[in-house]
Amino acid sequence: MDWIYDLSTWLQGMTAGAEPWNSYARYLPQLLQGVWVTLQLVVLSGVVGILLAVPLALMRVSKNPWIWVLPYCYIFFFRGTPLLVQIFLVYYGLSQFEALREMGWIWDSVLSQAYWCAIITFSLHTAAYIAELFRGAIQSVPKGEIEAAMALGLSRRQQYKKVILPRAFGMILPAYGNEVILMLKGSALASTITLLDLMGATRNVIARTYMNLEFFLLAGVLYLLIAAVFIGFFRLLENWFNAHQHATHLSTRQLDVQVQDEHLKDTAR
């Protein structure tokens, strides 16, 4: 990452000591390192969260109370308590259990580290929200599509794998994108447990420069840029998974002659 420091030095020379641009250039490496940590938190927690959300959602749609009651309580807790409280419970609360402190590398390398505690908390938190999105989407899959899968002889497992879950994922993509953006903004709370994410790096720089307004504005701009990247990414995913919603032009010439009736020609645009 030597090029970042070279860029910082070059930018400092370009600013000729003018503030706040000189300070922006001087502390650019620390801020970019904070951006990288923030991206890791959001991406890793988003991936782990959706992996946890799928089985939780499948358990939630079960009619057996012995199956759905546990994920219901889990979702109720993580949706009903503040994210900051959850971070403190994981980072400070787990150390109260002696059995955990005696777990060797699991404690030394994972549970005692602010980085992994933040990822664990964010993953559990976002999994609760995504599980509810999945539950609603699974229950909203058109009955006709499920009946068509049954008519093809697909087993219940194959129906979920090939029809229900892919359809549900396409349905929740807009809401899932919003959840990722909310997690991006919530990641700023990781700085409360000494993690140097973007907000933590910004606070460290402010402690050295006393330029509160300038660097908080810069942090806001960086968060906006990251959010714009995520929004563009999810827009591409939506276009891919929900391509049928964007097919506004229906060409009847490519259809078989036997199905080219006047109704299709009238509705084609």
- Cα separation, 21 vs 44, in Å, equals 33
- Predicted confidence at residue 101, as pLDDT, reads 80
pLDDT tens digits along 207-219 = 999 999 999 999 9
Sign of the Cα pseudo-torsion (125, 86, 184, 120, in order): negative
Q: What is the mean pLDDT of residues 82-96?
A: 91
Query: What single-letter amino acid sits at 265?
Result: K
* Tens-place pLDDT, residues 60-74: 998 898 999 999 999
- Listed in sequence order, the residues at least 6 apart from 227 whose beta carbon sits closer than 8 Å to its beta carbon are 181, 184
CATH of domain 2-267: 1.10.3720.10
Give 237-264 pLDDT, tens digit per residue.
Answer: 888 766 666 555 556 565 555 555 555 5
Question: Which pLDDT band, with edges at 50, 70 and 90, does 231 fall under?
Answer: very high
Taking only Cα atoms into account, the Rg of the chain, rounded to an integer number of angstroms, comes to 24
Give the global pTM: 0.83
**What pLDDT does 146 receive?**
85
What is the percent of the chain with per-residue pLDDT over 90, rounded to a whole number?
A: 49
